Amino acid sequence: MIDIEPDGPTKPGGADGIPTHDGADDVRIISNDIGKATDLFFTCTGAPATVNDVTIANNILRGRALTILITGFTTVPRSNYLIENNQSDSPTQTVYGAGMIRLRNVVNAVISNNTAPVGSKPAVTVNGSNKVTIGNNHFPGATSLVVVDQPPSDFPATSKAAVQWGAKSGVVTHCGNDFGSAGSQTDSPCT
């Protein structure tokens, strides 16, 4: 559906300080009512370019899973992602054997107050990321709330892809979420 995929790296800015060539900053995907579509709801992949300050909020997905993939690089992590108050009525289909929301090499991400059925997978998968906060979400059907620093289950451990997913994460916190069969499991309340 929505894909930010730079073809090349971000280059230093000119005299005006604005970076040139590829990347994105201050992206807002807010208050949309989205019907059935194919592929993932939001992806941010591509070349190691700066793609920062992205807000995905207050969207309603009908017949579309809240499937999000954000992949940065150790040399150019993605930063400042806010994913909040989104609703979906459709469970996530498996993509790369990872969670419904997948963060790789992302710094400063907040995932809060979302409601979405997950299916038989983790709600969130985090690899090589830091300062990730997951709070007050309703993810029924998720096998777990968050999996940190494990390659996706369908990548052989010796593959190049598994190595890419294997970087170490920093701080990942979560509270006030429910998940599992019909949202039957909860983690600690937020204080």
* Residues 180, 191: Cα–Cα separation, whole Å: 22
* Confidence at residue 15, expressed as pLDDT on a 0 to 100 scale: 74
Per-residue pLDDT tens digits for 7-41: 878 777 667 766 666 788 899 999 999 987 777 89
pLDDT class for 142, splitting at 50, 70, 90?
very high
Task: Give the C-alpha distances (Å, rounded to integers) separating 161 from 107, 141, 158.
Answer: 21, 27, 8
Three-state DSSP class for residue 25? strand
Q: Is the pTM of this model over 0.85?
A: yes
Per-residue pLDDT tens digits for 91-138: 876 556 678 999 999 999 999 999 999 988 899 999 999 999 999 999
Helices (H) and strands (E) counted in the chain, each on its own, are 1, 18
